[in-house]
């Protein structure tokens, strides 16, 4: 009888130790889960901030593009005229350089 009672007590102690270990592991898992949830919330906030910044930059770029289009419409043909004048000046400059190189040979 005593041996059986002693074995039953040892079995109960073993079960109690295993139960305690399971409880500690469960607590650790809960703590890790809370930590992961906090990090996820922080990450979500950062992603939101980045998305807001991207939207602001997109709005700024769109505004600048609209201003450019408006400015181009306002200038009309003036832009094309100035560009062709610059191109004419460049070609004339090239001719001058060719001419000076020709005379430098002699």
Tens of pLDDT, residues 26-67: 999 999 999 999 999 999 999 999 999 999 999 999 999 888
Q: Please report whether residue 29 resides in a domain.
A: yes
Q: Please report whether residue 24 resides in a domain.
A: yes
For residue 80, the model assigns a pLDDT of 55
For residue 41, the model assigns a pLDDT of 95
For residue 81, the model assigns a pLDDT of 54
Distance CA 37, CA 2 (A): 52
Question: Given its phi and psi angles, is residue 5 left (phi above 0), alpha (psi -120 to 50 degrees) or beta?
Answer: alpha
Structural domain boundaries enclosing 57 = 1-75
Q: How many domains does the chain have?
A: 1
Q: Please report whether residue 97 resides in a domain.
A: no
Output the pTM of the full model.
0.49
Q: Please report whether residue 64 resides in a domain.
A: yes
pLDDT per position as a tens digit, 5-17 = 999 999 999 999 9
Element housing 73 (H / E): helix 2-75
Taking a C-beta distance cutoff of 8 angstroms, is the pair 79, 72 a contact?
Answer: yes
């Amino acid at each position: 009888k005593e041996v059986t009672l002693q074995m039953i007590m040892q079995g109960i102690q073993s079960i109690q130790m295993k139960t305690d270990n399971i409880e500690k592991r469960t607590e650790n898992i809960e703590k890790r889960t809370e930590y992961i949830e906090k990090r996820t919330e922080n990450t979500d906030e950062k992603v939101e901030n980045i998305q807001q910044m991207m939207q602001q930059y997109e709005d700024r770029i769109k505004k600048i593009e609209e201003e450019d289009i408006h400015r181009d419409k306002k200038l009309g043909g003036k832009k094309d005229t100035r560009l062709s004048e610059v191109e004419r000046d460049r070609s004339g400059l090239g001719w001058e350089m060719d001419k000076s190189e020709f005379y430098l040979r002699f």
